[in-house]
Amino acid sequence: MKKFCALTAVILLLACCLPAFAEYYTTETPAPIPVIAKEDLTPTPEGIKHYMLICCDDWEVNPDKIDRWTDGLVLVTVDTIAQRVMLTSFIRDMLIQRPDGKFGRINNIVRLFGQNRAAVEMLVDTISTHFDIPIEKYIVVHFGQVERIVDAVGGVSVYLKAREAARLQSFHLGAASTEPALGGAGTYRLAGHAAVLYMRIRKVATVSGATQDLGRTERVRTVLTTIADSLKDVTYDEAMDLMDAVLNNITMTNMTTADFMEALTIAMNLRGTPVESIRMPIDGTYKLLPVSGMATQQIDYPENREALHDFLFGTSFAVID
């Protein structure tokens, strides 16, 4: 009798919960995604350079086989004519058209299509064709490398809400991980390990109120912007040391030594320039869409392309000889 009652209770509980589960797991038919062929992408205006930063969701990654999700996606754009530095972060659960024509999440492309350099280039091409931005240069890192790069710049100063500080405390960080020691709300200098954990916080709202993946992308932009601001007085020799730290902490890149030297020269010329940032997708242009058991966000790509182009190129201009 007790077993029968227990079974009945379980059945009733599942019956009550079924509508919610069904809503989450039901596969909806996504709207067609209007991707743009690579050969039809809008040419990059003169003076602008794009660098795609890709972070793998693991502390250590084998460069010969990237079998992790690529959750961190940030496009660094510099405009040497308009004197601008811009960050564009992309949420990890965007619904995209995969290289094989099927629907999928953007952070899963590398794992599905070879886990190698060719798969990384598929990911970069996917971002290019969905947002009409020709991206050529990319750098792939993992959490451990980001930690070491942040340490190389001396850490990062970030304002933490009380709940953010409490979340970091739950990781039982060492005494040297923050300055001062974690307490309530306030500004802390985070060492590399703490900075990575801060960027990975998902269930606690940011200062602006963003949570989940939106919160993560905001925290990534906060850390990158703060690092850039802290380097406004860096000397050329110090910049060379920092570039060495970056070069020694890369999983994969298609940038040559000449590319890095060009990027260093641009960074030196633009140091102290306020960093501007945007998130893709912008507010009001996406909705949750469960696809094959995955939580994805269906994006209004035409509207986001327009917003991104306005952001990146709105104050740019071409030099006519």
pLDDT for 28 equals 67
What is the reported pLDDT for 21?
Answer: 39
Is residue 144 within 8 A of residue 59, CB to CB? The reply is: yes
All residues at 6 or more sequence positions from 318 whose CB lies less than 8 Å from its CB, including other chains: 45, 46, 47, 81
For residue 27, the model assigns a pLDDT of 55
Phi, psi angles (nearest 5°) of residue 137: -100, 140
Residue 301's pLDDT is what? Answer: 97
* DSSP strand pairing (95-97 vs 103-105): antiparallel
- What's this model's pTM, rounded to 2 decimal places? 0.87
Q: How far is the C-alpha of 290 from the C-alpha of 281, rounded, in Å?
A: 17
Contact 242, 268 (CB under 8 A): no
Domain 38-146+250-313 matching CATH 2.60.200.20: the answer reads no
User: Given CA atoms 140, 143, 147, 150 in this order, what sign does their dihedral have?
Assistant: positive
Structure token digits, residue 44: 């990059």
> Which conformational region is residue 317 in: left (phi greater than 0), alpha (psi within -120 to 50 degrees), or beta?
beta
Q: What are phi and psi of 265, to 5 degrees?
A: -60, -45
Contacts of 58 (CB under 8 A, 6+ apart): 68, 142, 143
Encoded amino acid at 181, one letter = A
Dist. CA 67–CA 229, nearest whole Å: 34
Structural domain boundaries of the chain?
Answer: 38-146+250-313, 157-222
pLDDT of residue 19: 38
Taking only the tens of pLDDT, the chain with its 321 residues reads: 544 444 444 333 333 443 343 333 445 688 899 999 999 999 999 999 999 999 999 998 888 889 899 999 999 999 999 999 999 999 999 999 999 999 999 999 999 999 999 999 999 999 999 999 999 999 999 999 999 999 999 999 999 999 999 999 999 898 899 999 999 999 999 999 999 999 999 888 887 887 788 889 999 999 999 999 999 899 999 999 999 999 999 999 999 999 999 999 999 999 999 999 999 999 999 999 988 778 899 999 999 999 999 999 986 444 333
* Cα four-point dihedral sign 21, 25, 124, 80: negative
And the tokens for 20? 């919610």
